[in-house]
Amino acid sequence: MCAMDTADRPDAAADRGPCAAIPADQMDFVRQILDRVGDKWSMLVISALEARPLRYTELQRDAPGISQRMLTLTARQLQQDGLVTRTAYAEVPPRVEYALTPLGRSLHHVVTSLITWVVDHHGQIREHRSSSTTTS
């Protein structure tokens, strides 16, 4: 987000930084969205749907550690926000596929960049964590 002089925005959520561009009455909603897209399961689901639509079981396999309940909840929330579609096919047995919407696809590169950063730096973070616990 672009920074603005708060003199130009008396209703800004903050005096400076990226939040200065957000009207105070929109800040709660912005935090909700950040909470949703920054959630570990949301990021893994968005990342897993990069190449193609996936069936529920494929999605669960591609997001290691996610429970059925959490996958269902996460997919439902991402669908509610317009980031993922859910398509049910009238077949026997029933088939359901999840796919990124154009809005979800626009978020995908951000999510993938963050996951890549974590993978690239997890060793350093682990070292910092272990050194801070031994010095505490």
Angle of CA points 100, 101, 105, to nearest 5°: 65
Q: Which two tokens stand for residue 68?
A: 């059925």
User: Which residues, including other chains, have CB under 8 Å from residue 6's CB and lie 6 or more apart?
Assistant: 12, 14, 15, 16, 20
Which pLDDT tens digit goes with each residue over 64-73? 899 999 999 9
Q: Residue 3 pLDDT more than 70?
A: no
Domain ranges for the chain: 23-135
Decide if 43 contacts 115 (C-beta within 8 A). Answer: yes
pLDDT score, position 30: 86
Which pLDDT tens digit goes with each residue over 5-15? 444 555 666 67
> Could you tell me the fold of the domain covering 23-135?
Arc Repressor Mutant, subunit A (1.10.10)
Phi, psi of 55 (to 5 degrees): -75, 165
3 state SS of 52 = coil
Which pLDDT tens digit goes with each residue over 25-79? 888 888 888 888 889 999 999 999 998 999 999 999 999 899 999 999 999 999 9
Distance CA(27)–CA(96), nearest Å, equals 35
pLDDT score, position 54: 97
Which pLDDT tens digit goes with each residue over 91-118? 888 899 999 999 999 999 999 999 899 9
Average pLDDT value for the chain: 87
> For a pLDDT cut of 70, what percent of the chain falls above it?
88
pLDDT score, position 6: 43
